[in-house]
Amino acid sequence: MPDPAPPDPLVARLRAVGCVFAEEEAAEIRRVVGQDEQRAEPIVTARAAGIPLEHALGVALFAGVEVEVGPGVFVPRTRAEILVDAAVAARPDAHVIVDLGTGSGSIAAAVKTRLPRADVYGVDLDPMALTYAIRNAARHDFHVHEGDWWDALPHELRGRVDLAVAYLPHVPTARLADIPGDYRAQEPNLSIAGGPDGLDPLREVLADLDAWLAPDGVLVTLVAEEQLGTATNVCDGKRVTLVVG
């Protein structure tokens, strides 16, 4: 019988510092830095210190698109990739698309990649997130504006938004402690906390929704399964597609 393959030293080091998904993390590290073990070592050290992998790498892969991220910026969640699929399916003909609460710009970048002829706008209130969103906008060809939800957009877009997509902060206050510690320590409350039932940001967005959407426009947003009933009631009569994830 052939000798068993020797253990992967990078996987072993990641496991030794407490990484549960050591094989997956090793693969992502090598995707970014290649086989250079010296370049991988500072990333392992950062993971040992509780830094999220994406922050240690400086990039995140989301819906097939690589975006820059860093400390203090919300890490794009794989679970939100279905939101991109649903948004593109809802309005594949959209000309004006808005990503509300864009963070690093991951959703805006992914949507722009799939609908390259559309004008895509990302908005956010957090200066640190906007630093990365601007970098990613230059890389993936979308626009970035600073401000609070719809108020950040150029006035001439009022009534012309064909598609709004939003991965809104939606973690209920009582559930914030359930977020993994490495993310919780590095991401601002502004990008996570959704109030008592997790739906306060959705209510804020809905308040001006009709004024900004085009006549056949739609908002596509994501909620947790346990929020679906309440969110459906909150969105009653509005042009909203709720995605459960």
Domains along the sequence of the chain with CATH: 9-49 (no CATH), 78-244 (3.40.50.150)
Categorize the per-residue pLDDT at 186 as very low, low, confident or very high, splitting at 50, 70 and 90. Answer: low
Which of the four pLDDT bands, split at 50, 70 and 90, describes residue 23? very high
**pLDDT for residue 4:** 60
pLDDT at 14 over 70: yes
Quick check: 3 pLDDT over 60? no
With 80 as the cut, is the pLDDT of residue 1 above it?
A: no
Q: Is residue 71 classed exposed, middle or buried when 0-12, 13-18 and 19+ CB atoms within 10 A define those classes?
A: middle
Find, among 212, 62, 186, the residue nearest to 123 by Cα. Answer: 212
> In which band, very low, low, confident or very high, does the pLDDT at 227 lie, cut at 50, 70 and 90?
very high
Q: Using 50, 70 and 90 to split pLDDT, how confident is the model at 179?
A: confident
Residue 193 has pLDDT above 90, yes or no: no
Residue type present at position 117? R
Name every residue whose Cβ is closer than 8 Å to that of residue 96 and which is 6 or more positions away in sequence.
Answer: 118, 119, 121, 157, 160, 161, 162, 163, 214
Whole-number Å distance between alpha carbons of 4 and 137: 46
Query: Above 80 in pLDDT, residue 174?
Result: no
pLDDT of residue 38: 86
pLDDT category, 223, cuts 50, 70, 90?
A: very high
Instruction: Say what the pTM is.
Output: 0.89
| Rg of the Cα atoms in the chain | 19
Residue 92, judged by CB atoms within 10 A of its CB (0-12, 13-18, 19+), counts as exposed
Name which of 11-15, 163-167, 181-185 the model is least confident about: 181-185
Q: In this predicted model, what pLDDT tens digit does every residue of 79-105 receive, in sequence order?
A: 899 999 999 999 999 999 999 999 999
Give the separation between CA 98 and CA 54, rounded to whole angstroms.
25
pLDDT of residue 205 exceeding 90, the answer is yes
Task: State the average pLDDT for the chain.
Answer: 92
Number of H-type helices and E-type strands within the chain: 11, 8
